[in-house]
Amino acid sequence: MNQMDQAGVEGMERGDVRLDIEQRARAVRMLVFDVDGVLTDGSLFYDNQGQEYKAFNSRDGHGIKMLRASGVETGIITGRTSQIVLHRARNLGIGQIYQGAEDKLEALQSLLRETGLAPEQIAYMGDDVVDLPVLNRCGLAITVPDAPEEVKRRSQVITLANAGRGAAREACELIMRAQGTWAAQIALYDR
């Protein structure tokens, strides 16, 4: 079963759910990620001096690069602030970065003003209740399998892969497939 079959939209037939997700994904011009629990598995590592460490998935990162190459921009809205996140975002070419966002909806509104995009052109990937204000307003809401039920119910897509283990790559591929750009990205490597 793929992510389109897993979508939890009550009262719709499976084919209608797939069509709704594909239509939403075709409209996406920017995919925005939370960090902890989406781009990472949510674990926070500290050494004895208080230095923070995070583990990112390389395939997630390459999915983000392919998505950007296909014409879809990327962003981050996270409640925490970390130099590690800034470094990773720069490495992946992520343009819009909002760290320390205690009010993620306010960060989304700033992002919309700065980019000129409409909410329906934004896909957001979050994993917890603090992400609900953004998930409720964006065009395509994506979450991970271990998200709370309240988050899953308000998301159109629940990835099969876990956070920090391919979930972001899955979201990128879903958008590229819906927009018809996946084959062109694979063709760059399939020679």
Q: What is the pLDDT of residues 9-47, one digit of tens each?
A: 333 344 567 779 999 999 999 999 999 999 999 888 888
For 19, the 3-state DSSP assignment is helix
Question: What are the b/e assignments for 6-21, b being 16+ CB within 10 Å?
Answer: bbeeeeeeeeebbebb
Q: Is 21 within a domain? A: no
Residue at token pair 């876990």? 162
What confidence tier does 51 reach under pLDDT thresholds 50, 70, 90? confident
pLDDT digits 0-9 by tens, 132-185: 999 999 999 999 999 999 999 999 999 999 999 999 999 999 999 999 999 999
Residue 173: count of CB within 10 angstroms of its CB = 19
pLDDT digits 0-9 by tens, 90-135: 999 999 999 999 999 999 999 999 999 999 999 999 999 999 999 9
Specify the amino acid at residue 143: T
Is residue 6 predicted with pLDDT exceeding 90?
Answer: no
The overall pTM is greater than 0.85: yes
Percent of the chain past pLDDT 90, that is, above it, reads 84
Find how far residue 97's CA is from the centre of its chain.
13
Element (H, E) at 158: strand 157-158
Quote the domain boundaries for residue 98: 3-7+31-182
Q: What is the CATH number of the domain that holds 143?
A: 3.40.50.1000
Is residue 63 predicted with pLDDT exceeding 50?
Answer: yes
Q: Is 85 within a domain? A: yes
Q: How many structural domains does the chain have?
A: 1
The pLDDT of residue 111 is: 98
Q: Is 97 within a domain? A: yes
Rounded Cα gap, residues 153 and 128, in angstroms: 12
Helices assigned H by DSSP within the chain: 3-6, 14-26, 58-69, 83-92, 104-115, 132-135, 149-153, 167-179, 182-187
The pLDDT of residue 1 is: 35
Q: Is 187 within a domain? A: no
The overall average pLDDT reported for the chain is: 91
Q: Is 121 within a domain? A: yes
Q: Is 94 within a domain? A: yes
Q: Is 19 within a domain? A: no
Q: Is 188 within a domain? A: no
